[in-house]
Amino acid sequence: MFDKKQLFVVLTLTSASALGAACGDDTGAGPTPVTDAGDAGDAAAPEAGPASLCVDGKPAVAYPPAPHAVDIARTLPPLELVGEGGATVKLADYFEPCAPKAKVLVVRAMAAWCGPCLWNADNTKSVLDRTTVASQLRVLDLLVADEDNLPPDAAALTRYKARVGADVTVALDPAFTFRPAQTSALPLPVYYFVDVRTMQVLSSISDPAPETLASRLLVELALLDGLPRPPLPRVAVDDGFSENQWGLLRAMTLPGAPPPDPTNEYADDPGAAALGKQLFFDTALSPNAVACSTCHDPAKELGDGVAQSLGVAKVDRNSPNIALSSHARWQFWDGRAENLWTQALGPPEDSKEIGSTRLYIAHQIAQRYQAAYDAVFTKYPLPDLSDAARFPATGKPGDAAWQGMTAADQDAVTRIYVNMGKAIAAFERTFRVKPNALDRYIAGDRAALAPAAKEGLASFFKSGCHQCHWGPRLTNDAFHVLRFPTGKQDGTADRGRADGVAKLLGAELHLGTKWSDAQKPVRPFVELSPPPPSMVGAFKTPTLRGLPKSGPYGHGGRFTTLAEVAKHYGDRGLEPNDPRAAGTVEPWVPNFDTSEQARLPAFLDVLTGEPEPIN
């Protein structure tokens, strides 16, 4: 295991001084170049030329001397990073001052949550091979975040390496060290091109089409060797979209059956789903006449159409779309539940939502569902709950009535409660949605999208929306800070994932307990306590399927139109000093202008998610 300090880039200098911070803040200003003391206040100091670095065909120095800076047209510091298996990845190892032909080190800033990053990772060899100069390239991928947008660790790097292949060196870079060499706030992945003869950053480019990447490399290599500008490939497009964009579009095809859930042996049991359907709609499970369907109404595409959901009382967040929640890696806006059945156990005992207790629910199931329950859960027949001294009418952990029960009786009631959650999960796993215009377009009907919708789709790619909204549900299930206004009733900022992690780690009923049906206890996350600062104000990326009818929008439900949402994204969220939001907007969130903001809604409007009839 790595020490936590090893997860950060080690910046080794030829002088005794330390480098400046790699990442700028969220002020909208350009990032501060990473420099060393060799700058000595002279940012325009001339760089050493190749002639002084290579003498008589041999390197004159182990690495180009200071001044160093992570910036365009500057010599990089001799960075050292933590690579695969804990190995040290040194920029100095790429230094070739005497290379007879120009060579370029291609440094890619990648994130495991990022759709276009994963497309580039999956297609690295095919894209670089077609440049005709693959022999003059070396590739170094810097992983800036893991699948959940946490600082990456050794396990995340191993998973990423398995995807990208043996020919690419990988290293951890949670500090996003190369950000100052990025020419503008554009989406990931970002390619940085480094001349190995001088270790100077030549240029950078964001999320390029394969032909655009090839052109940039051909030009850079020709310039380095003083050769004429070569003929450049033209970007091949199909109906206006490039190869990499079509790769992402084809991966947005409507999902089929949800993935298996080994923690719920009743997940795909028709009897469990039938029982779960009854429980989902049953207001009698709550003394307040509130059911799951109160906030997830099939007549409203499994939503409720209000800014903040109203159960027993108004809650602090907007009701999320659950039509395809069986595919989600995390549940709730803050990810405080790991899967469907653990999610289903939260609202019933929440005083603002359903306002019930597990004892109350157990009695209701025993009185009205015994035959159906016993038919499904044959391993766990309902106990006799008639003894009020042993099984009070209502109570949950923390209540005096519950605390007065024996541990065995508590477990018997909790088993009924857990099985209720598993039955509801089985029902929710049957949810499907109908294909929409985007699905028809991807399938080959080029007329399925009107011209305005196609322009909106082009803006979707150009504006970087596809970084997070990709895959069959158009979500990465990761957590991001976009500073949407709070929905909390007291008006304070919502800390999102940071507080969700605390609830997750303190949960009584989770996948690592005896209530899971998995062969081994499963917890799909590493130790998160305390959550990193990047999770303050972070919320799970919502699915875009069903977007047109799922408003109001945002975790606080403060936006009523998609135009307002597009503007919020284009402005990179609320201002840093606005008390209605917490956290710092991430560096890869781009600004985009009002023309792009205006075009996006025409595409977003086609992303319907009408549920199939519920059986």
Q: Is the pTM of this model over 0.85?
A: yes
How far is Cα 572 from Cα 568, in angstroms, rounded to an integer? 6
Out of 121-130, 265-274, 447-456, 491-500, least confident range: 121-130
Domain locations in the chain as residue ranges: 4-235, 270-428, 437-496+536-604
Distance of CA 51 to the CA centre of its chain: 46
DSSP string, 538-603: EEEPPP-TTGGGS-SBTTTT-B-SHHHHHHHHHTTSS-TT-TT--S---TT-----HHHHHHHHHH
* CB atoms near residue 370 (< 10 Å): 12
- β-bridge pairing 69-70 and 88-90: unpaired
Q: How confident is residue 38, by pLDDT bands cut at 50, 70 and 90?
A: very low
Residues 459-476 have a mean pLDDT of 97
Whole-angstrom distance, CA of residue 11 vs CA of residue 26: 23
For residue 19, the model assigns a pLDDT of 29
Reference 484, options 547, 578, 597, 595; nearest CA is 578
Q: Measuring CA to CA, which residue among 524, 531, 547, 541 is closest to residue 480?
A: 541
Architecture of domain 270-428: Orthogonal Bundle (1.10)
Residues in CB range of 111: below 8 A, 6 or more apart: 117, 143, 144, 145, 146, 149, 188, 189, 467, 588
Please tell me the CATH code under which domain 4-235 is placed.
3.40.30.10
Is 70 exceeded by the pLDDT of residue 5? Answer: no
> Which helix (DSSP H) or strand (DSSP E) does residue 461 occupy?
helix 451-462
Let me know: does 284 contact 278? Beta carbons within 8 Å: no
The pLDDT tens digits for 530-553 are 788 999 999 999 999 999 999 999
Mean pLDDT of 505-511: 91
Least confident of 83-92, 423-432, 448-457, 520-529: 520-529
Task: Tokens for 14, please give them.
Answer: 């030829």
What is the assigned CATH class of domain 437-496+536-604? mainly alpha
Q: Which two tokens stand for residue 434?
A: 């109908």
**Do the domains 270-428 and 4-235 match in fold?**
no
**pLDDT (0 to 100) of residue 7:** 34
**Per-residue confidence (pLDDT) for residue 520, from 0 to 100:** 79
pLDDT digits (tens, 9 = 90+) for 372-382: 999 999 999 99
Is the pLDDT at 30 greater than 70? The verdict is no
Name the residue among 253, 298, 312, 170 with its Cα closest to residue 615.
298
Side chain identity, residue 34: V
